[in-house]
Amino acid sequence: MRINRTAVASAAALAMLATSANARPGPKRACFFADRVTGYEKGSGTSIVVEVGTRERWQLTPLEACPFLDFLPRVGLASRDPANRICEGPDAGFDADFVVPDPGGRTQRCRVGRVDRLPDAPPARRRR
């Protein structure tokens, strides 16, 4: 059986082009690390606004109804990402869960459905 080298080289070149076309990165999404959350506050509707560091603010909305999510001092956030990141977008449910205690002492997890970055908070004014 005789192999045509030109045909093999052409097939290899086409395969490389197809692979590189599929490997193009999509738009970058902004992310934060779950362990850097410094505070929580009630957002609009059922959402929670988390503060990351001293200025970053993110609005997280649960995918479905989440009872007891309004117990803010006791709400936690758990990343599902091995790198502990939570990224913006409507498909953030793969990134994070709210960890919410109920009055009976048990803990429930509620999937985060959407993550939106909010404008940064203004820098704190220095006291003199």
Q: pLDDT-based confidence at 2, cuts 50/70/90?
A: low
Predicted confidence (pLDDT) per residue in 90-111, tens digit: 776 578 999 988 888 888 999 9
The tally of domains found in the chain comes to 1
* Cβ atoms 58, 38 nearer than 8 A: no
Whether 9 maps to a domain, the answer reads no
Chain-centre distance for alpha carbon 105? 27
Whether 37 maps to a domain, the answer reads yes
**Average pLDDT value for residue range 10-22:** 41
Question: Where are the strands (E) in the chain, listed by range?
Answer: 31-33, 37-42, 48-52, 56-62, 76-79, 85-87, 96-101, 107-118
Q: What is the distance between the alpha carbons of residues 62 and 70, in angstroms, rounded to a whole number? A: 12
Q: What is the distance between the alpha carbons of residues 95 and 58, in angstroms, rounded to a whole number? A: 14
Is the confidence at residue 58, as pLDDT, over 80?
yes
Structural domain span for residue 105: 31-118
Predicted confidence (pLDDT) per residue in 26-56, tens digit: 567 899 999 999 998 888 888 999 999 989 9
Is the confidence at residue 126, as pLDDT, over 60?
no
Whether 16 maps to a domain, the answer reads no
58 forms bridges with which residues in the sheet? Answer: 50, 117
Residue 127: both structure tokens together: 């006291």
Residue with more model confidence, 5 or 83: 83
Residue with more model confidence, 113 or 20: 113
Whether 84 maps to a domain, the answer reads yes
Whether 104 maps to a domain, the answer reads yes
Whether 5 maps to a domain, the answer reads no
Whether 10 maps to a domain, the answer reads no
Q: What is the distance between the alpha carbons of residues 68 and 108, in angstroms, rounded to a whole number? A: 9
- pLDDT number for residue 20: 37
Residue with more model confidence, 15 or 61: 61
